[in-house]
Structure 1
Amino acid sequence: MELTKEVKKKKMNKLLKIILISIAVFIIAIVVFLATVFIVNVISSKSEQGKIQAYGQHVSVDGKIMNVLIEGNGEETVVLLPGYATAAPALDFKPLIEELSPYYKVVVIEPFGYGLSDVSEKERSTENIVSEIHEALQSLNIDRYILMGHSIAGIYGLDYVNKYENEVISFVGIDSSVPTQGDTDEPFPSDAYKQLKQSGFSRLLMKLATDQLLTPNVDDETKEQIRILTLKNMFNPNILSEGENFNSNFKAAENLVFPKNLPVIFFLQDNDTETEGWIPLHEEQLKNSVHGEMVLLEGDHYLHHTRSKEIVENFRAFMAGIE
C-alpha cells in the first residue's frame, strides 16, 4: 500500500513538473514573441526613415515645418485638405491632383502630424488647425482659392470659410463630415492606440491585414512610400490629439452654416451604410446656399481614389454654371 502511494506521489510530482515546465515554456514563448515584435518594429522604423523620399516644399508655420505640395499653373488655386489620419496627403490625393492640375494651381496642405510635416505640441482643436492652414497659405502668398476637402475637412472647412470668407471662392466636400452626423462622442482610446504603436503590433496588424493600407491606384513605389509614412505617422501625438478632440470640434461646428453666397458642392458616396441620414444631413447644409449642389457617386469613402475624373468634371461644370 505504501509503495502504491509513493508511486502515485511520484506520478503527481512528475505531472506537476510537466505542467510547470509547459507554463514556463508558454510564458517564455510569449515574452520572446513580444520582444521580437518590438525589436522588429524598432529596426524597421529606423531603416524606413532613410527610405522616405522627399516631395513638396516646406513652409514655416508657428515656428515649425509644414509640408505642402504645389502642382499646376492655372489662374485659380485649389487647396486640398485631407481626411483624418491620412498618412501622406500629397500622395493620397495623387489621382485628384492629376485631374485638377491641367486647369488649376493645386496646393496640398499636410497638417502637423501628417505626411512630411512636423508634429506640433498644440492640441488639435479646430481653431489651431484652421489657423495653421491659413498661416501656411499666407506664407505662400496665396490669398484667393477654392477649398476642397475630404472627410473631416468638412468640419474644419466649415469653420475656415466663416473665418476667411473673403478669401475662399468656393467649398468642395469629398464625402465630407457634417457636425450633426453623430457617433463623435465615444471615448477615444488613445492609450490603446499608443500601446499598439509602441509595442510594434500596429506594424504586425498591417502586415497581417493588408487591406488596412489605404492607397489610390498608383505605382508600386508610391504605394511603398504611403506604407512607410502610414507606419511613421500612425497614432503619433497629433493624430491622437485630433481623435481626442473629435467631440469638441464637431460640437463647436454645430451652429455654423456655410455663407449664403459661397458656392458649395458635395461629392458623396451614394450607398453609405455607416452614417444614418448621410445624404439628408448634407442636404440640410445646402438648404440656404444660393449656389449649392450635391453629386452622388458610386464608390467608398475615399471617392478621390476612384472617381477623381468625375469630381473635377462636375466641379468645373458647377463653377461654369455660376459664372
Structure 2
Amino acid sequence: MMKRILMISLKIIGVFVAAIVIFLVTVFTVNLISNKSELGKIADYGQFVAVDGKNMNVTIQGQGEETVVLLPGYGTGSPGIDFMPLVEELSPFYKVVVIEPFGYGLSDISEKERSIDNIVDETHEALQQLNIDRYILMGHSIAGIYGLEYVNRYENEVSAFVGIDSSFPSQPVEEFPAESYELLRKSGFLRLIMKLSPDETALQEVDEATKEQVRMISLKNVMNPNILSEGEQMEHNFKVAQDLTFPKKLPVFFFLAANTTDVEGWEEGHEEQIKDSMHGEVMSFEGGHYLHHTRSKEIVENFRRLYEVK
C-alpha cells in the first residue's frame, strides 16, 4: 500500500515538474518568436541624428521661433509617441524637439554606461547636430535630474527649465535589481507580466494602431542594456545632482501631480529647488505621474503665461 502511494506521489510530482518546464519553455519561445516578428512591424517615425557614432532618433514638429526640447522619464518605451499630447499643445507656438536617448524609442543602443555625464553630453550633441543652440528644456520624471546637470553645464543655451512631475535630487532612490530584471527579460516573463498587468502609463486618447506601436516598441526596449545601466547608475546620478542648484536667473517651472504619496515631501522638495530663483513657480494638477497625458493643455497654458511675464 505504501509503495503504491509513493509511486502515485512521484507521478504527481513528475507531472507537476513537467508542467512547469513546459510553461517556462513556452514563455521563453513565445517571447523569442514575438521579438523577431514585431521588429519588422515597428513603423519608423522622426529622424536620426549622428551622436557618438550611433543613431539617435528625434522628432521635430512646429514652426515657432523658440524651441522646446522634450526629455523623457526613465524607461519610457517610445518618447516620440508618449509626448504626443504635449507636442500637440506646444507645436502651434514653438518648434518642438523630442529626444529619444540611446536605448529609448527607435534610437540605437550605446555601449557607454548611462551616467549623468554621458546622457547630458549625448543630448547636447544631438541638439548641436540639429543646429539648435537656444531652447527651453522641458522634461518628465528623471529628466529633472539630468536637466539640472544640463542647465548648469549649458546655461547660456537654455532659456528656461520646465519639470513635469520631475525628480529632485534629495528624494530617496531605491536599490535597482538589475540582474533580476535582466533574467525576467531574457526568460520572456517581462512580456508576460506586461501583457497581464494594466499599463497605467499608456496613452488613452490614441487609435489602436498607435497603441500597438507603443506596445511593440516598449517590449523591444524594456530593460535593454541601456535601461539596465541607467537603473544601476541612478543612485550615483542622483548624488551628483545633489551638489547642483538651478541658476538664479533661469526661469524654472514645475508642474506636479497633486497629492503624490510615493515620495515624501514631493511638493516641498520642488519648492526648495526654486527658493533662490528669480523666476520660479510650482503648480499642481490632479492626475498621475504621466501628467502630460491628461494635463498637457493646462501645462502649456500656464507655462506660456509664466514664461511670457518672466
Q: Which runs of 4+ in 1 moved over 6 A?
A: none
Matches within 5 A, 1:1-323: 11-182=1-172, 184=173, 186-211=174-199, 214-322=202-310
Other structure's SS at 1:211 match: coil
| TM-score between the two structures when normalised by the length of structure 1 | 0.94
Identify which range, 214-223 or 90-99, moves more after superposition: 214-223
Provide the C-alpha distance between the structure 2 equivalents of 1:216 and 1:143, rounded to a whole number of angstroms. Answer: 34
Other structure's SS at 2:69 match: strand
Other structure's SS at 1:245 match: helix
CA gap 1:212/1:102 in 2 versus in 1, 3 angstroms: closer
What are the Cα deviations for residues 138-183 of structure 1, in whole angstroms up to 9, with x where unaligned? 000000000000000000000000000000010000011000012x
Give 1:68 shift.
Answer: 0.2
| TM-score between the two structures when normalised by the length of structure 2 | 0.98
Other structure's SS at 1:108 match: strand
Other structure's SS at 1:228 match: helix
Provide the C-alpha distance between the structure 1 equivalents of 2:66 and 2:188, rounded to a whole number of angstroms. Answer: 44
Provide the C-alpha distance between the structure 2 equivalents of 1:213 and 1:97, rounded to a whole number of angstroms. Answer: 17
Give 1:187 shift.
Answer: 2.5
What are the Cα deviations for residues 108-130 of structure 1, in whole angstroms up to 9, with x where unaligned? 00000000000101000000000
Over alpha carbons, which structure has the higher Rg? 1
Query: In structure 2, what residue type is equivalent to 1:104?
Result: Y
Other structure's SS at 1:86 match: coil
Provide the C-alpha distance between the structure 2 equivalents of 1:216 and 1:72, rounded to a whole number of angstroms. Answer: 23
Query: In structure 2, what residue type is equivalent to 1:272?
Result: T
Give the conservation status (yes or no) of the 8 Å contact 1:206–1:212. Answer: no
Question: What count of residue pairs does the alignment treat as equivalent?
Answer: 310
What are the Cα deviations for residues 60-85 of structure 1, in whole angstroms up to 9, with x where unaligned? 00001000000001100000000000
Provide the C-alpha distance between the structure 2 equivalents of 1:212 and 1:259, rounded to a whole number of angstroms. Answer: 35
Query: In structure 2, what residue type is equivalent to 1:137?
Result: L
Give the conservation status (yes or no) of the 8 Å contact 1:213–1:227. Answer: no
Give the conservation status (yes or no) of the 8 Å contact 2:201–2:290. Answer: no
Give 1:216 shift.
Answer: 4.5
Among all aligned residue pairs of Structure 1 and Structure 2, give the percentage whose two residues are the same amino acid.
66
Query: In structure 2, what residue type is equivalent to 1:154?
Result: G
Provide the C-alpha distance between the structure 2 equivalents of 1:212 and 1:77, rounded to a whole number of angstroms. Answer: 30
CA gap 1:227/1:221 in 2 versus in 1, 3 angstroms: same
Query: In structure 1, what residue type is equivalent to 2:246?
Result: F
Query: In structure 2, what residue type is equivalent to 1:82?
Result: P
* CA-atom RMSD in angstroms: 0.9
